[in-house]
Structure 1
Amino acid sequence: MKKTSLLLSLLALLVFSFTSASALDKEQMIKEWERAKAYTQVYLETMPEDGYDFKPSADIRSFAQQLLHLADANYSFGSLASGMKSPFERGAMEKAEDKSKAATTKMVLDSYDFVINALKGMTDAQMKEMVKFGNRGEMSKELVFAKAFEHQTHHRGQTTIYIRMKGIKPPNEMLF
């Protein structure tokens, strides 16, 4: 009897957690991307011009390359999820010759605008549609946007050490 009761309690908890943990709605996702753009802009502003080519180690990306890689992915993920054609070839941002503070900032912030506008153009039904995600199989367009968000957060976070190594206090977190 105790085992049955425990099992039913666990099952009820599991069902409750799945039904109450719904994905972000589209409007909340747009707000989160707008917040992420503002946060990334603070990172771009914090690093001085002479830090854009800085590499903490010779075998990793420079500060500019990290953020331009983030921009490349924003275009790639946003295009896949929305069906909008990216204005750039995959990898074009990171390969850009001009990696100055002004050029990098513009390219990175424009990539956020692309994702935000892609989200704004989507319907709830479209967000649930499935797309092929490389060799990882199919996933919902909503999940592609979530993966893009995780990716940009990861690479922005990596640049914190670049800023610290230049002797500058990195931006405070902007969770809200």
Structure 2
Amino acid sequence: MKKLMTLLFALLIITSAYSQVTTETLVADFERAKALSLDYVEAMPADKFDYQPTEDVRTYAQQFLHASQGTIGLSSNGTGADRIYANANLEKDEALQSKEEVKRMVTESFDFAIDAIRNMDPDSFGEIVERGPFKITRLAWIQKAHEHISHHRGQAAIYLRMNGIVPPQYKLF
């Protein structure tokens, strides 16, 4: 009986955690992340998009192209939406290295994620999705997409500072 009560309590906690998150809150988070990411793209002068602190790291353009591909892939894992650019390597595509193309890809990747989140059933947040060695919930995949772009924006902040540019102000709300 004690094991059954523990199991029921755990299910209640998990159900409660998923009920706190809505597609609306996720969309708001991704809209804010999109705006901040575009601010970062705008902050770096166009002639510095090939800047890299050392040869063994990504250029400024590649940071955002990689992050865009991650936003698409990770959010696709969570939402089930058909992945765009599935057979491409955005950060290696020479045609995408300009400021305007990076801006377009950042916008497109966030629009993809936001549209996919809007169109998903929040009751599916708890479903497990397996990709490679990872078995996590749909909601966790979406949160990983948000975490991934935040990580690369943090790296981009260093690139900006190394060029004497103050990074854009964080948008908490």
TM-score under structure 2 normalisation?
0.85
Of 18-27 and 58-67, the range deviating more from structure 2: 18-27
Distance 2:87 2:33 in 1: 22
Distance 1:24 1:56 in 2: 38
2:91 counterpart SS class: coil
Q: Post-superposition shift, 1:53? A: 0.4
Partner residue, 1:10: none
C-alpha distance after superposition, 1:33-91 (max 9, x if no partner): 00000000100000000111000111100000011000011111122112221120255
The one-letter amino acid paired with 2:55 is A
1:126 to 118, 124, 127: 124
1:131 counterpart SS class: strand
Partner residue, 2:144: 147
Partner residue, 2:102: 104
C-alpha distance after superposition, 1:7-57 (max 9, x if no partner): xxxxxxxx9xx6876652221111000000000010000000011100011
1:52 to 23, 39, 49: 49
2:52 counterpart SS class: coil
Partner residue, 1:4: none
Q: Post-superposition shift, 1:92? A: 2.1
RMSD: 1.7
Is the CA contact (8 Å cut-off) linking 1:69 and 1:91 kept in structure 2? no
The one-letter amino acid paired with 1:162 is Y
Partner residue, 1:73: 70
Distance 2:147 2:39 in 1: 18
Is the CA contact (8 Å cut-off) linking 2:79 and 2:142 kept in structure 1? no
- Please list every run of 5 or more consecutive structure 2 residues that lacks an aligned counterpart in the other structure: 1-9
Distance 2:64 2:42 in 1: 12
Distance 1:105 1:92 in 2: 16
TM-score under structure 1 normalisation?
0.84
**Comparing both chains, which one has the higher relative contact order based on Cα–Cα distances under 8 Å and sequence gaps of 6 or more?**
2
Partner residue, 2:6: none
Is the CA contact (8 Å cut-off) linking 2:40 and 2:168 kept in structure 1? yes
Q: Post-superposition shift, 1:117? A: 0.5
Q: Post-superposition shift, 1:133? A: 2.8
C-alpha distance after superposition, 1:79-136 (max 9, x if no partner): 2112221120255211221200001110111100100001001011222211003212
* Matched-pair identity in %: 37
Distance 1:63 1:166 in 2: 11
Partner residue, 1:34: 31
Q: Radius of gyration: which is bigger? A: 1
Of 124-133 and 30-39, the range deviating more from structure 2: 124-133
Partner residue, 1:159: 156
Distance 1:168 1:147 in 2: 28
Q: Post-superposition shift, 1:151? A: 0.6
